[in-house]
């Protein structure tokens, strides 16, 4: 499993390109947290940033015939 950093202060073109490349290569999931930051109220899902859908659509447009990219929304809830 690999990781890469994302600059959340603005559009991180390098991270977006890396995410698109990983989706095109396939073979392993790309895990992102589409809320974009950590929230401390844990009771509800906060608004999602549109960047995740944009990355998926850009990657899907570059795939060969027969290849697919999937977006599986997941929410994590925890207590401490």
pLDDT in tens, 4-57: 888 878 788 998 899 899 888 888 888 887 666 666 666 776 677 788 888 889
Terminal CA-CA length for the chain: 27
> Total structural domains in the chain?
1
Q: Which domain, by its residues, includes 23?
A: 1-80
Q: Are 67 and 26 in contact (CB under 8 A)?
A: yes
Looking at residues 58-62, what average pLDDT do you find?
89
- Please indicate whether residue 80 or residue 11 has the higher confidence score (pLDDT): 11
pTM value is 0.71
What was the pLDDT predicted at 36? 63
Angstrom CA distances, 76 to 20, 28, 46, stand at: 24, 20, 12
């Amino acid at each position: 499993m690999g990781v890469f950093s994302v600059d959340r202060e603005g559009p991180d073109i390098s991270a977006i390109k890396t995410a698109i490349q990983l989706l095109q290569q396939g073979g392993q999931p790309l895990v992102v947290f589409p809320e974009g930051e950590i929230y401390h109220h844990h009771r509800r899902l906060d608004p999602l940033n549109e960047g995740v859908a944009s990355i998926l659509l850009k990657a899907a447009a570059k795939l060969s015939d027969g290849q697919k990219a999937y977006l599986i929304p997941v929410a994590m809830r925890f207590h401490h």
